[in-house]
Chain A
Amino acid sequence: MGEKISQSFHSCDGYNNIKNLMKLLSIVLLGLTILTMSSCNNDEVEPIFKTDLSEIISVTENDLTITLYAAEDFFVGYNSITAKIEDASGNLLSGNVSVAPIMNMEMMTHACPLEYPNGQNFTNGSFEFNSVFVMPSGEMGSWTLTFDVDGMAVKMPITVVQPEFSKLKSFVSEMNDASYFVAFIEPSAPEVGQNDIELAIYKKESMMSWPAVENLSLEIEPWMVSMDHGSPNNEAPVHVDNGHYTGKVNFTMTGDWQIRITVMEGRSKHGEPYFDLVF
């Protein structure tokens, strides 16, 4: 390689060669830095688990302790959850995991939409998943999260509450009679002005199959019900990834807003769910 470089130095395209050399040098330097840093970590620092979220529940089974963290108690809607996975002596583990949220009702059981944002492998005991609970715990039935950590199972009974303002709406499609579920993710802390809006949409194919729907087109209209007016310059959410749709929503004042959504596929309408927001 050294030969090649010295050769090209003699060519007439000197500037490009210097550039290439600099590129090469910086790649080498970067590589060295990463190596040093990771070796430091391996040698000197114990893996640690850090999160700003609140602890919701902790269960020990089969010599595994799984602790779940979230911003708030589990609710009907889109929950971002971080799990800490330790062995019996409190060492943070790495490996592969799968989660199965199951609602046990008297006559039947059903699952709900689930996402692994960073895949199913985890390191340093930290694992993230998103679960869209579709109904609250209560007399109707109860929720269980079943973790499978490299073949070892941990079963965790959890409580899901219904929030004051619904974060999940379902409707039966006018097009195909299927049940669709729309989860309201953002704005989680709405403010006057321009807000990012993020929705995730799922279809209930069967009791156990809740795939994300990616081919929809959406329209939104924020509505001030008590005054009967909307707001200008909203951007309809468009599909980004995995059933998530993002856009912009504007609020001209504080108060009770309703975000009215029209869910379309091509030119046909599936339904018109809405969300209430108060701030």
Chain B
Amino acid sequence: MKPISFLFLFVGLVGFASAQTEKQAYEAWLDSIKNEQYIAMDLMLDELVLSSLNKDQSKYQQYRKYNMRNTDDFVNNLLGVHMMRRGNFANEPLLRGLASDRYIISVDGMRIFGACTDKMDPVSSYIEPVNLQGLDVSFGSAGNTSGLSTGGAVDFQLKRPVYNSDKPFMASLSSGFSSVSRGFDQSFDLNFSKNKVAYRFSGVHRKAANYINGEGLKVDYSQYEKFNYAASIHYRLSSTSKLAIDFLGDDAWDVGYPALPMDVGSAKARLFAVTYYMNSFRIFMDPEFKVYHNYINHMMDDTKRDSVAMHMDMPGFTETTGTYFKAQLIESEKQKLNFRIDGFRSFARAEMTMYPNDETFREMFMLTWPDIHRLAAGVQMDYDLSFLPKWELNVGMRSEFTQSYISSQFGEQQLSIFNKSGETPLNKWLNNLSVKTTRRHRTDVSTTWSVAFSERLPSISEQFGFYLFNVHDGYDYLGDPDLKTERNLHLETSHKRTNGSSSFTVNLFGYFFSNYIMGIYDAGLSAMTIGSKGVKWYRNTPSATMFGGEVASTKEFSELSSLITEVNVVYGADFEGEPLPQMPPLKMKLSWLQKIGDWTIYPEVEWNATQKRISEKFQELSTDSYMLANLKLTKVWKGTKQKSSMNMGIENIFDEAYREHFDVGQVLRPGRSFYLQWKIIL
């Protein structure tokens, strides 16, 4: 951290020095700044862009985002995304029912990997809404922007400091309370710009106690506390180039996971990035070059649990260093070509030390992630063409070379038990190709067909995990170094029509997986973890199939009122035709948006069908249908110099006792909650 703070200081000093020596040029400079195309134009600090499959934002999302208080809330409100819970913190996004092994999470195009073998820390848990400029979600094999996956990608775009000569200092403060967990949240966001330099600092503190579920019972071990802080400096090197330094830190501690046998003592993430932006360079337009490094230190803890079969320490660590260069090669009215080359190397280690209750026995040790190294280098092209008056074509491809190996002798010995080895680097070429055509019937009606193929590496747990206990099905899991890449042939069609502020979208997709990786029970192996039902190997299964779709419609009745409808459905079958685990049932959401003066009233009803298509292989139980009702209110005061807003509402008004089908464990979600949040923007 120290060198980084020096760097910040240095860049800061340079900025002020130039202010003193070039006072004359300063005035002219201010005017020139406004004309540069890469200046972040959004001056409102709470501006957030949510983009989903169709990369557009509708009007209602703006209202919706006011009322979202954490990143999980944001992600959950994207069409086709569900949030899987292990507790009241760090929910794992499911993209059309697929969990994090199958998609890529990146932050500003940077690869980063959670450091918990039990997936307690999806990368989204290290990002706060106050840091977010935008969020980009793609599904399936299409639109893999920073790596290759079969289930899609989520990219969090971090907020950048804003150059604004009219308003060199901007700030926002916010504070909130939620009754169900007696949770208090505070955040601030500061922006300075002077001369060639713009700074941004933000901080968030969250603390919540155990929440109360819909049966009125306190859910033990669901508390959390966290602190998130970010700093960013942009420095203009010339009128056409800019250097950016970004830092993000996140510390969570005393985080409870009621669905799991363990909690988290501390989880620390640090992200560093240096980016160089230019207007153009030779044949490249908008070139962007980034070097980044990040690490996560994750310490599980069970010392606060009343009864544990055996006390364990399970620290995990990941570290990723990478770079990318991206630019536009062609930009004309008819065609556009974007490209990106990138590379990263990552390291992951997780260990488990078990302390027997009988102190005459010595503690036991194993490496659950045995010093796993991954290297990847990829090249990516994205080409858009309008080839007929009403037709558009988009072709995307990505090719990636990857290498995986372990460097721990201890880990190699562990693998020797199964006559396997991970010392020799395992090389894999991964490829992705997607073709999409859009026909614009009229300016406001379009139909899209797409075919995409992609493959992914096994996740590090799937490839090298050693006796990882999965609470969801109660088995110990073994990774297999010899796994083949999983492939997905993704077909999709969508139809969209807009009429003023009303819109209607329907997406239908089919995923046809081969080498689908899933846990297969091995009756020849006996369980290691106390309470485990047995051992499963991650194996390539011949196939898996998924179908589903989303419907979203916004019907505007007047300037002041509109109705929003959303429907999500996913169907999944494994190679034996049995249901895939953790598949979300049919879900419908109905929202009404009503403006009355400065107030926006936003009642919402969410209905989930019963899920009876359960995976017996994964010991699933069927989940009952439930209905939730929420009421959200927003009031905005706009002054000449400041703006403030107040959000309040009731979530789960009828105190429904419910859980989502894909949630881990049989833990009920929060019951009725009142919340209040205010925000001042200076």
Contact B417 A278 (CB under 8 A): no
A140 within 8 A of B: no
A248 to B: closest C-beta gap in Å: 9
Contact B417 A194 (CB under 8 A): yes
Contact A255 B354 (CB under 8 A): yes
Smallest CB gap from B355: residue in A = A226
A224 contacts across to B, CB distance below 8 A: 364
Question: What 1/0 mask marks residues of chain B from 522 to 550 whose CB sits below 8 Å from any chain A CB?
Answer: 00111110100001000000000000000
In the complex, which of the residues B352, B362, B364, B527 has the most CB atoms of chain A within 10 Å of its own CB atom? Answer: B364
A231 within 8 A of B: yes
A254 to B: closest C-beta gap in Å: 4
Contact A193 B412 (CB under 8 A): yes
Contact A227 B310 (CB under 8 A): yes
With A254-B364, A254-B365 known as contacts, the answer to whether A229 contacts B527 (CB < 8 A) is: yes
Contact A232 B526 (CB under 8 A): yes
Contact A227 B412 (CB under 8 A): no
Q: In chain B, residues 288-330, which have Cβ atoms closer than 8 Å to a Cβ of chain A?
A: 310
Contact B525 A227 (CB under 8 A): no
A59 within 8 A of B: no
* CB contact between B417 and one of A229, A233, A254, A256 (< 8 Å): that residue: A233
Contact B354 A232 (CB under 8 A): no
A251 to B415, CA, bound (A): 11
With A227-B356, A252-B528, A253-B354 known as contacts, the answer to whether A232 contacts B365 (CB < 8 A) is: no
A178 within 8 A of B: no
Smallest CB gap from B419: residue in A = A233
With A227-B356, A229-B528, A232-B525 known as contacts, the answer to whether A278 contacts B413 (CB < 8 A) is: no
Q: In chain B, residues 348-371, which have Cβ atoms closer than 8 Å to a Cβ of chain A?
A: 352, 354, 356-358, 361-366
With A227-B356, A230-B526, A232-B524 known as contacts, the answer to whether A255 contacts B364 (CB < 8 A) is: yes
With A191-B413, A192-B410 known as contacts, the answer to whether A255 contacts B527 (CB < 8 A) is: no
Contact B413 A192 (CB under 8 A): yes
Contact A194 B366 (CB under 8 A): no
* CB contact between B364 and one of A194, A227, A230, A233 (< 8 Å): that residue: A227
B557 within 8 A of A: no
B61 within 8 A of A: no
A225 contacts across to B, CB distance below 8 A: 361
A251 contacts across to B, CB distance below 8 A: 417
B467 within 8 A of A: yes
A250 contacts across to B, CB distance below 8 A: 416-417
Contact B467 A232 (CB under 8 A): no
B6 contacts across to A, CB distance below 8 A: none
A252 to B366, CA, bound (A): 7
B527 contacts across to A, CB distance below 8 A: 229
Smallest CB gap from A225: residue in B = B361
Q: In chain A, residues 174-211, which have Cβ atoms closer than 8 Å to a Cβ of chain B?
A: 191-194
A111 to B493, CA, bound (A): 87
Question: What 1/0 mask marks residues of chain A from 254 to 279 whose CB sits below 8 Å from any chain B CB?
Answer: 11100000000000000000000010
A228 within 8 A of B: yes
B418 within 8 A of A: yes
B524 contacts across to A, CB distance below 8 A: 232
Contact B356 A226 (CB under 8 A): yes
B412 contacts across to A, CB distance below 8 A: 193
* CB contact between A255 and one of B362, B413, B416 (< 8 Å): that residue: B362
Taking chain A's interface residues, is the majority helix, strand, or loop, or is none over half, making it mixed?
Answer: loop
Smallest CB gap from B522: residue in A = A232
With A193-B412, A232-B524, A252-B366 known as contacts, the answer to whether A226 contacts B361 (CB < 8 A) is: yes
- Tier of interface size on chain A: 20 to 34
Contact A253 B366 (CB under 8 A): yes
Contact B354 A193 (CB under 8 A): no
A213 to B88, CA, bound (A): 63
A227 to B415, CA, bound (A): 21
A250 to B406, CA, bound (A): 20
In the complex, which of the residues B357, B361, B410 has the most CB atoms of chain A within 10 Å of its own CB atom? Answer: B361
A193 contacts across to B, CB distance below 8 A: 410, 412-417
A255 to B358, CA, bound (A): 12
Contact A254 B418 (CB under 8 A): no
Smallest CB gap from A279: residue in B = B362
A256 to B525, CA, bound (A): 20
B467 contacts across to A, CB distance below 8 A: 252
A279 to B: closest C-beta gap in Å: 9
Contact A255 B361 (CB under 8 A): yes
B354 contacts across to A, CB distance below 8 A: 227, 253, 255
B633 to A: closest C-beta gap in Å: 54
Contact A228 B530 (CB under 8 A): yes
* CB contact between B526 and one of A191, A226, A229 (< 8 Å): that residue: A229
Smallest CB gap from B466: residue in A = A252
A278 to B360, CA, bound (A): 11
A241 to B291, CA, bound (A): 63
Contact B361 A252 (CB under 8 A): no
B410 contacts across to A, CB distance below 8 A: 192-193
Contact B414 A252 (CB under 8 A): yes
A194 contacts across to B, CB distance below 8 A: 413, 416-417
B530 contacts across to A, CB distance below 8 A: 227-228
* CB contact between B365 and one of A229, A231, A253, A278 (< 8 Å): that residue: A253
A226 contacts across to B, CB distance below 8 A: 310, 356-358, 361, 364
A229 to B525, CA, bound (A): 10
B420 to A: closest C-beta gap in Å: 11
B419 contacts across to A, CB distance below 8 A: 233
B466 contacts across to A, CB distance below 8 A: 252
Smallest CB gap from B528: residue in A = A229
With A227-B530, A253-B364 known as contacts, the answer to whether A192 contacts B414 (CB < 8 A) is: yes
A179 to B339, CA, bound (A): 79
A114 to B: closest C-beta gap in Å: 35
Smallest CB gap from A234: residue in B = B417
A173 to B224, CA, bound (A): 60
Smallest CB gap from B412: residue in A = A193
A275 to B: closest C-beta gap in Å: 16
A227 to B362, CA, bound (A): 12
A186 to B535, CA, bound (A): 28
A255 to B419, CA, bound (A): 22
A252 contacts across to B, CB distance below 8 A: 366, 414, 417, 466-467, 528
* CB contact between B366 and one of A192, A228, A230, A233 (< 8 Å): that residue: A192
A226 to B418, CA, bound (A): 23
A162 to B511, CA, bound (A): 66
A191 contacts across to B, CB distance below 8 A: 413
B414 contacts across to A, CB distance below 8 A: 192-193, 252
Smallest CB gap from B364: residue in A = A255
Contact A231 B417 (CB under 8 A): yes
A192 to B417, CA, bound (A): 9
Smallest CB gap from A253: residue in B = B366
In the complex, which of the residues A224, A226, A230 has the most CB atoms of chain B within 10 Å of its own CB atom? Answer: A226
A224 to B364, CA, bound (A): 9
Smallest CB gap from A231: residue in B = B417
A230 contacts across to B, CB distance below 8 A: 526
A229 contacts across to B, CB distance below 8 A: 526-528
A231 contacts across to B, CB distance below 8 A: 417
With A192-B413, A227-B310 known as contacts, the answer to whether A232 contacts B364 (CB < 8 A) is: no
B132 to A: closest C-beta gap in Å: 42
Smallest CB gap from A224: residue in B = B364
With A193-B416, A227-B310 known as contacts, the answer to whether A255 contacts B525 (CB < 8 A) is: no
Contact A232 B362 (CB under 8 A): no
Smallest CB gap from B417: residue in A = A250
A103 to B: closest C-beta gap in Å: 31
A227 to B361, CA, bound (A): 10
Q: In chain B, residues 376-415, which have Cβ atoms closer than 8 Å to a Cβ of chain A?
A: 410, 412-415
* New A-B pairs, 17, CB < 8 Å, besides A226-B358, A232-B524: A193-B412, A193-B414, A193-B415, A194-B416, A226-B310, A226-B361, A226-B364, A232-B526, A233-B419, A252-B528, A253-B352, A253-B354, A253-B365, A253-B528, A255-B361, A255-B362, A278-B362
Closest 6 CB pairs of A and B: A193-B413, A255-B364, A226-B356, A253-B366, A194-B416, A250-B417
Give 6 A-B contacts (CB < 8 Å), ordered by A residue: A191-B413, A192-B365, A225-B361, A253-B364, A253-B528, A256-B361
